[in-house]
Structure formats: structure tokens, C-alpha cells
Amino acid sequence: MSLLDKIDKENIPQHVAIIMDGNGRWAKARGLDRTEGHKEGALSVQKVVKAAAKAKVKFLTLYAFSTENWLRPEEEIHTLMELMVYTIANETDNLVKNGIRLQCIGNIQRLPENTRKALNRCIEQTSSGEDLTLVLALSYSSRWELANAAKAIASSVKNGELDESSITEETINEYLATKGMPELDLLIRTGGDIRISNFLLWQAAYSELYFTGVFWPDFDEECFYEAILDFQKKERRFGKTSEQLEKENQ
């Protein structure tokens, strides 16, 4: 029996994000080149997207390439970009068929032209998908996002479009790359490290965190469902007491 059958369908996290870590270490442990780990990791993306759709998650955000990843060896970056183009091109029809819409957040202009074109084609062709929104964080970091939001807010104030005294948390949300997306409920990190590596820092303020030692290429549907089951065990108080929540739910 799949763990999917044990999940409470009334308590599904609407927005799940994943830091997909461990491709290189997975490959190294098998005496393979790091690029082989990335190729295997692409297969895990397919599995987890299907799992998220089956579980009725509405938004799935994947940390695919950080701004810091530009510091990696040029050959590895090239392989990653080529793999991304290949995967996106080959998965577009499946995304459309399964009602999955693709979106992207990050400094997209830094991506190679062929990568941007593949992304834009897929985003356009999947735009009518309503079952699941798959968000790729590419050339993304949270500090980059927050700095951009601060500059945009400052510009709006300077141009008289925004009164600085009226700036609230909701205002900042409107200037983030994740504008219009639901609150982040669950943040998963594979690979064993216990940190969130400059990913969705603002959005993760009250999300549940799930860390697993499983390397990303080994993270499959059942691993994803296990993370959701762990999420469902948590009491999400958002600063309130258990007693307050109990009264509210009566």
C-alpha cells in the first residue's frame, strides 16, 4: 500500500518547496561523474511532480539553480543548462496532458538564450494548467529577491506610487517573485544538510521544515508522501497557543 493512502486529504499542504540536494554526492558514492547525478536527479523531478499532483498539492517550487551555483565549474553549469533544456522540451506535452502549469522565479536574464527560450515556450504552452503549478527557481536566491523587492519599493515611494507609512508585510509580498502564490506550507531539503541555503527566506517564516538524509536522485514518490505525513503531524500555531487553536476549532 502506498503512503498516499494514509494521507489526510483534508490537510494537504497547498504550497510545497524542495531544495533538491545530493546529486553530486550520489554520483560520487557510485564512482560516477557529478553530471550523472544531475541526470538521475532529473528523473526524480518527474517522479515528485507526479506525486505532488496525485496528492492534490497546488504549488510545487523546486530550487533548481541558485545564484551561488554560477560559481561552479563551467563544464558542470553547461551540462546543467543543457539537461534543463532537454528535460523541459521533453516534458512539456506531459505537463499539458496532466494540467500542470510551469512558472519560473529568479534572475532569468542570466540564463543562456536557449534555456530561456525553452522555458518561455513551456510556460506559454502550459499556461492553461489548473491542477498543479510547478515553479522552477532558476538563478534564484532569497537575498537577490529581497534586494530587488527593496529597490522596487523604494522606486515606487520615490515616484509617489506608494506611501512609505503604508508599507506592510502584505506590501512586501506584492513585490516578491512569489507574488500571487499561496503561503509556503512545507519546505523539504534532501541530502542530509540542515539549512535552507538562501531559499525562500521570507516565505519560509512559518513553513514546516522537513530534512532528510536521502539524496535527491533517490527521493521518490513515497519519500514525498512521507514528508507530507510528517507535515500532518505538526500543530501549526502561528504564534498562538494550543488552547487558543482548540477553542477556534470547536
Q: Spot the catalytic one: 5, 8, 11, 69.
A: 69
- Do residues 119 and 111 lie in contact, with contact meaning Cβ atoms separated by under 8 Å? yes
- Do residues 196 and 209 lie in contact, with contact meaning Cβ atoms separated by under 8 Å? yes
- Distance, CA of 244 to chain centre: 32
For residue 18, what is its C-alpha cell? 524542495
Q: Spot the catalytic one: 8, 11, 21, 230.
A: 21
Closest CA to 88 of 62, 119, 114: 119
Amino acid, res. 58: K
- Distance, CA of 181 to chain centre: 11
Instruction: Answer yes or no: 21 catalytic.
Output: yes
- Distance, CA of 243 to chain centre: 33
DSSP state of 98: T
Instruction: Answer yes or no: 193 catalytic.
Output: no
Q: How far is CA 36 from CA 24, 73, 193, 197, 212, in A?
A: 8, 15, 21, 23, 21
Task: Classify residue 157 as exposed, middle or buried by CB count within 10 Å of its CB (0-12, 13-18, 19+).
Answer: middle
CB atoms within 10 A of CB 197: 14
Task: Please report where in the chains the cell 515616484 appears, as a residue.
Answer: 159
**Catalytic residue IDs:** 21, 69
